[in-house]
Amino acid sequence: MRIAMIGTGYVGLVSGACFSEFGVTVTCVDKDAGKIDRLNRGEIPIYEPGLDELVAKNVKAGRLSFSLDLAASVADADAVFIAVGTPSRRGDGHADLSYVYGAAEEIARGINDYTVVVTKSTVPVGTGREVARIIRKTRPDVEFGVASNPEFLREGSAIGDFLRPDRVVIGTDSDRARAVMRALYRPLYLIETPIVMTSLETAELIKYAANTFLATKITFINEIADLCEKVGADVHDVAKGIGLDGRIGKKFLHPGPGYGGSCFPKDTLALVRTAQDYGSPLRIVETVVDINDKRKKSMADRIVEACGGDVDGKTIAVLGVTFKPNTDDMRDSPSLDIIPALQAKGAVIRAFDPAGQHEAEKLLPGVTWCGDTYETLEGASVIALLTEWNEFRVLDFKRARELMKTPVLVDLRNVYNPDDMEMAGFAYTCVGRPSRY
């Protein structure tokens, strides 16, 4: 089989490489010439563990290629996947569908025989029907089907998530399109992956319902963490105590500075807007969005408090700026709220991130970027641990104390244990557990 993947970002590149691993012939298309150039030179434009080997292997086998030429790439494809961005529209929070609709029009101009046009991007209910309308209008002569196939991979573990998913969701009204999609995902039948076959609208809604549910779970445990601090309870024990109940589940009960990243913030907001438009408001999700926004902003206050209420002229060593480890994605990362708020209070920021630094430099002016963890700590009054990269999990606190002005750690990811930190001679603030001064 032959497919084209339109949009070669975190989702398109991983999905394209994984389909080629299944034996499908894949052309990944992007309009960003720099990205395609790099890929054709054998470079991977994003940080995603294992992606370089997977891409190199399938390029070598002749199953995976990269192109700027959308029309040529879709001409012989059995299916064309739209995996372009759907960011928040400026001003109102609706998903910006201009890239999706633009791609649909270009695809329509390029296809010849029967082709299934699949939306992999996260798109609001009704988008698939609009994609069909655009194609029909642009090319009344051509036979095609439309399907929704939302993607659930997570940055940082994207390849494993794609190759061994909890489920695959396929929404379409067409038997012919369904057969093509089944054939593409056939390799996953061997590992008995559940396939949810449904309508276009349902598939589109499943993706938003999943992401908003997860964002709600995170927000719930974050609020429980705040309460734990007030009453002297330990949020990790609470999470364990509730998570062992199979109806609740253990995952996504880790407290922190608020969810960020390229999906949860924009998807929660977009679902809120869709629900309002249809006169069926999702008040839980509206509240989640509001709580999370405020939480991210309030995290700087914790750091100020740990510094005795004043950071003016003090050096803060920030470890990690990406929204989670194992990615270079900076979109809506809590660090984008926390660092400017500290700078506004007069703090001097030194920072280090193992993969996100290049992207972060453009977004966080005035920060001194360091080459490694210990260089970051030089002369600092406090460490602010914002992302739980592996290399921040076993710090040499003796060395840290020697480098720093005062031994203070604000651990917004609860990587460390309050007792151990007391032993290491650090004043320690974390989330949802008693702090040690």
Catalytic residues: 263
Whole-angstrom distance, CA of residue 425 vs CA of residue 437? 9
Exactly one of 58, 122, 268, 343 binds ligand NAD (CB under 6 A); that residue is 122
**121 lines the binding site for ligand NAD (CB under 6 A):** yes
Q: Does 6 bind ligand NAD (CB under 6 A)?
A: yes
Residue pair 311/350 in contact (Cβ under 8 Å)? The answer is: no
17, 18, 28, 29: residue in contact with ligand NAD (rule CB under 6 A):
29
271, 334 in Cβ contact below 8 A? Answer: no
Residue with tokens 């104390």: 401
Q: Which residue is nearest to ligand NAD (CB)?
A: 9
Query: Using CA atoms, how far apart are residues 400 and 380, in angstroms rounded to an integer?
Result: 10
- Count residues binding ligand NAD (CB under 6 A): 28
- 20/376 with CB nearer ligand NAD: 20
Give the integer Cα–Cα distance in Å for 341 and 351: 15
Pick the stretch among 28-36, 240-248, 378-386, 388-396 that binds ligand NAD (CB under 6 A).
Answer: 28-36
| d(C-alpha 32, C-alpha 378), whole Å | 39
Binding mask 256-295 for ligand NAD (x = CB under 6 A): ------xx--------------------------------
Alpha-helical runs (H) found in 247-351:
264-277, 283-306, 335-344
Could you say which of 3, 4, 5, 8 contacts ligand NAD (CB under 6 A)? Answer: 8
195-198 sheet: strands from edge to edge = 64-67, 25-29, 2-6, 79-82, 115-119, 144-148, 168-171, 195-198
Closest to ligand NAD by CB, 33 or 191: 33
Least separation in angstroms between residue 169's CB and ligand NAD is: 12
Site string for ligand NAD, 81-100 (x = CB under 6 A): --xxxx------------x-
Angle at 81 (CA atoms; ends 76, 87), nearest 5 degrees = 145
Q: Is 32 in the site for ligand NAD (CB under 6 A)?
A: yes
- Provide the mask over 154-193, with x wherever binding to ligand NAD is found by CB under 6 A and - wherever it is not: -x--------------------------------------
Q: Report the residue from 3, 4, 5, 7 that binds ligand NAD according to the rule CB under 6 A.
A: 7
The yes or no reply on residue 48 touching ligand NAD (CB under 6 A) is no
Q: Which of residues 355-414 bind ligand NAD (CB under 6 A)?
A: none
Q: Strand order in 408-411's β-sheet? A: 368-369, 348-352, 315-319, 382-385, 408-411, 427-429
**Is the Cβ of residue 17 or residue 84 nearer to ligand NAD in the bound state?**
84
Question: Do residues 120 and 150 lie in contact, with contact meaning Cβ atoms separated by under 8 Å?
Answer: yes
Element (H, E) at 144: strand 144-148
Binding status of residue 117 toward ligand NAD by CB under 6 A: no
Pairing of β 168-171 and β 195-198: parallel
Q: Given the rule CB under 6 A, which residues bind ligand NAD? A: 6-12, 29-32, 35, 70, 83-86, 99, 102-103, 106, 121-122, 151, 153, 155, 262-263
